[in-house]
Amino acid sequence: MTSPAMTAPADQSAGYRAMVRRKRWLLLGFLVLTTLSLVLDLALGPVGYSVKEVVQAVLWPDSVPMQLRVVVWDIRLPTALMALAVGAALSVAGAQMQTTLNNPLASPFTLGISAAASFGAALGLAFGVALFPSFAGYVVPVNAFVMAMLSAGLIHLLSMKRGVTTATIVLLGIALVFTFNALLALVQYFATEQAVAAVVFWTMGSLTKATWPKLGVTCLVIAITLPLFARNSWALTALRLGDDKAASFGINVARLRLQTLVMISLLAAFPVAFVGTIGFVGLVGPHIARMLIGEDQRFFLPASVMTGALLLSISSVVSKTLIPGAIFPIGVVTSLIGVPFFISLILGSKERSW
């Protein structure tokens, strides 16, 4: 982002406006790529349809044969849109965790929220334990959600203790990861072979669990949290200058951090409960957004939405094309295609990524 020296205030003002335009173009580029990936995701599947047919089925459902309409609207659209929604939610959750905890390793995965959700899901899958018996029909997602919220709540409680720094919170999160992974292993040890297979499949993450109601809930959570983040965008950006600096700006750092952590918990818990563990997006989506667009939250926030959505959508496309007729678990694919891209981005960048 280095540019030739511009020393006159007018030049700098023009330079800033040019930088903002460049960021807007980048966001638009992400939007175009995400839309293309979505269309491709809809077109791919065991039954081959052309892009034109699929687009027609989405825009004018009454004008296409019923089979195509059912495949697109009942199977592919919820899954493809869920990829976008889950990717966006996890990426934004990771972005705000990294911002509020001032730590590049923070994500729903590294703070134990995903591990807690996996343990909750495993209890349901292996032993039929329902943590919320009134939702008997949705034991696995409800268990996963309850455990995710419990772990997030535990982190909140501990973070409110006097003298607890952001580094301590990250360490507590890592301790939770190990604890829940050990408990998950214990469940698998006592479970039947079939149950173990189900648990393992769940922990790999799968978009095939997507339904319209689950998609609706995920989108609702995003729709509630994003405007709140946007409203605090200047304050959240200031957090990255350090707690003292942010507080000196008149920001109530403790309150902002708590509010943000509550919203992050919702953003992380619902997707994990619905589609299983997808670890990579929440960590890397924000880093890619940060490297490309910087940390002004007015642009970083939408960029994180886009990078997360795009990463998971591309992963969904790849998961369908690796072996024709089979769908690979999305969590595995996301990491496999995302890691090389991420490493090339970090090593190729002339500037520090954090």
Partner 1 sequence: MVTLQLKELGARYGSSTALQHVNTPVFHAGQMVAVIGPNAAGKSTLFKRVAGMLKGPGEVLLQGSRKGLDGICYMPQDISANARLTVYESILLAAKQQHQGWAVTDAELAQVGAIAASLGIAELAFRNLGELSGGQRQLVSIAQTLARDPEILLMDEPTSALDLHRQIQVLDFMRTLARERGLIVFIALHDLNQALRYCDHALVIANGQAQRSGPCGQVITADMLREVYRIKARIESCSQGTPLVIVDGVA
Q: Please state the φ and ψ torsions of residue 150, each to the nearest 5 degrees.
A: -60, -45
CB of 104 to partner 1, least distance (A): 11
Residue closer to partner 1, measured from CB, 28 or 230: 230
Q: What is the token pair recorded at 52? A: 């034109």
Residue closer to partner 1, measured from CB, 250 or 325: 250
Note whether 278 and 312 are within 8 A (CB): yes
CB of 226 to partner 1, least distance (A): 13
CB-based contacts of 233-237 (< 8 A; 24+ apart in sequence): 233/296, 233/297, 233/298, 233/301, 234/297, 236/96, 236/99, 236/100, 236/260, 236/297, 237/295, 237/296, 237/297, 237/298, 237/300
Residue closer to partner 1, measured from CB, 214 or 287: 287
Hey, what amino acid is at 325? G
Note whether 349 and 287 are within 8 A (CB): no
CB of 240 to partner 1, least distance (A): 4
Burial class of 90 by CB neighbour count within 10 A (0 to 12, 13 to 18, 19+): buried
Question: String of b and e for 170-194 (b: at least 16 CB within 10 Å)?
Answer: bebbeebbeebbebbeebbeebeee
Residue closer to partner 1, measured from CB, 101 or 291: 291
CB of 309 to partner 1, least distance (A): 21
CB of 289 to partner 1, least distance (A): 10
Residue closer to partner 1, measured from CB, 103 or 203: 103
Residue closer to partner 1, measured from CB, 10 or 223: 10
Note whether 215 and 275 are within 8 A (CB): no
Binding site for partner 1 (CB under 8 A): 1-3, 5-10, 12-13, 15-17, 19-20, 162-163, 230, 233-235, 237-238, 240-242, 244-245, 247-251, 290-291, 294-296, 298, 351-354
If you search the block for the tokens 């089925």, which residue do you land on? 57
Element (H, E) at 127: helix 113-127
CB of 111 to partner 1, least distance (A): 21
**Which residues 6+ apart lie within 8 Å of 34 measured at CB?**
84, 306, 309, 310, 313
Residue 83 and residue 41: Cα distance in Å, rounded? 10
CB of 251 to partner 1, least distance (A): 7
Residue closer to partner 1, measured from CB, 55 or 164: 164
Residue closer to partner 1, measured from CB, 165 or 248: 248
CB of 293 to partner 1, least distance (A): 9
Note whether 210 and 275 are within 8 A (CB): yes
